Amino acid sequence: MVEASVIDKQLTAFGPSLAIAASGQNRIHAHYNVAATNSGRASCSDPNLQQVPRDRRFRRLFEAAPGHVLVAGDWHAMELRAVAHISGDFKLRQAFRTGEDPHALTATAMSGIRPQDVSPEEFAKLRTAAKAVNFGSIYGMGPSGLMRSAWENYGVVLSEAEARSRLDAFAATYPGLIQWRNAHADLCRQRGYIRIGRDFADDRGRVHKFIWNKPGKQAFSFTQSCNLPVQGACADAAMRALTIVERLLFNAGIEGGPVAWLHDEILLEVPEANAEKAATLLQQAMIEAFLETFPGAPTEGLVEPTIGRNWAEAKG
């Protein structure tokens, strides 16, 4: 009954809008609104592909044109990699350099349990809870915010004491990140704005100004000072990748190109005969864009493109 209710909600939320959008040529042409958010991330509308359910049964509905395939590439742990580079935290940077799983590291730090100590199923639950803590912590959430985020995004139930304890464990595991987060928040408060972009040492990039004298508006936001630089830089990397992959495909004589962009994922539609070459070029473009945005950042395991006839297959 619960699953049926979820499916009903998905169909109600997305079925009519997708059917209307796909009418005529049976193709969807979504609208991307570049830099539509404070961070500089794009929003999507008519329909909003960024909110399409991840359920594989739903994503099978998105198929490539006859004779074509979809090529999917996403940056693995993009925002954690970004904050590792921006903050300079040694342990988090080292984890990406050596191929360690940062969610598993946090899970062990929170529980004292290593992957080899329990069954894969048991550790998977610990890792899911750690994932909620990782993303909550890099964005400056407190215990109450983490409780809400863990439940809404990961289905993890935490008491306030558990949330506080896990945030403390994160801080002890990645002290460099916490030091940057707090120091950067103080700097933003003093300046009255948040600088977004890779060139934090000069005047290039974007700024988000705080509203000081408007009733009902918060003059300073600690969470924004944490998340806007990270999300904004990741948005820069994505837009660079879209530009680069278009050029690479054109130079290689491959028809087709990007058909969807979901923050850390780019989806191409290309002729089936060119699928492997297009996947290689997409990987090249995404790594090049990431390094242009985060010079010197580790790229081990960063992008592994996959291919399929529909969106679910292309995601593996």
Amino acid at 18: L
Tokens in use for 151?
Answer: 């439940």
Per-run averaged pLDDT (10 residues), the chain, 316 residues:
55 61 70 81 82 80 93 94 94 92 90 90 91 90 92 90 93 94 92 76 69 64 91 92 97 95 93 98 97 92 95 88
d(CA 169, CA 176): 13
The two beta strands, 43-45 and 31-33, are antiparallel
The domains found in the chain, sorted by start residue, are 2-78+234-314 (3.30.70.370), 88-223 (1.10.150)
DSSP 219: S
d(CA 89, CA 134): 14
DSSP 5: H
- Phi, psi (rounded to 5 degrees) for 75: -80, 120
Tokens in use for 260?
Answer: 């969807």
d(CA 99, CA 166): 23
